Amino acid sequence: MPEEIPDKKMIVEENFQKKLGLTMALIATIFSIIGWAAGKYSSIQSGAEQKIAYMHDWYNAKGIKQSLAEGQRDLLKALMESGTISGDKIVTLQQNLEATHANIARYKKEKTEMTLGSKAVGKDNWVQEVDGKLGLIEGTKELDLKAASLAPALDRFQMSYLFFQLSLFAGSVSLMSNSLKMKRILCWILIILGAIGTGLASHAWISAKAVEGPLLQGVLDCFRIR
């Protein structure tokens, strides 16, 4: 009988070690999946910020064209008002002036649509095409807002990392401990911290998923502008 007690204790410890190892493997797997998801949304946010910078450059290009057109308008007005242009040339100048006014108005509308987005400016003010279609522009303000919406989710992903790492650390210490009681305490710490990390990561994933679709569409639209 005395020999059976150590055997039973050893069997209990071995079974516990197996369960502990499986629990750690499960948490490590969840941690890996969460790391992949966080990396994905971090890349989306970085890509969006690059596309927003591209949109700002595009906006500045429109501003330069508008400034050139305004200079041309002022020159045409000065020529017409100087009285040095003969009557047969006035008609041509007037036509050029009207075309210049139209270009200036179009540039202003394009800049507004690129800033606010097609939905904000309304159908009557759609002038920028995407794949030959109007009304598909997501403005820089919209993209800025959506990119910023990913920041809290990414912060929660980072916080979940801490709990996962502490959880796995507790599991590692439990494996090295010689006391079954301490092993069990550390195992519960492992499970609790892992559960907190999973909860934070799940919340972050749901929040990021809600932003992902519209944000990706806006990013793609930046490259399809004609």
Euclidean distance between CA atoms 144 and 158, whole angstroms: 21
Cβ within 8 Å of residue 155, ≥6 positions away: 204
**Domain total for the chain?**
1
Q: Name the amino acid, one letter, at 58.
A: W
More confident residue, 124 or 187: 187
pLDDT tens for each residue of 20-46? 889 999 999 999 999 998 888 888 888
Residue 203 domain boundaries: 4-224
**pTM recorded for the entire structure:** 0.64
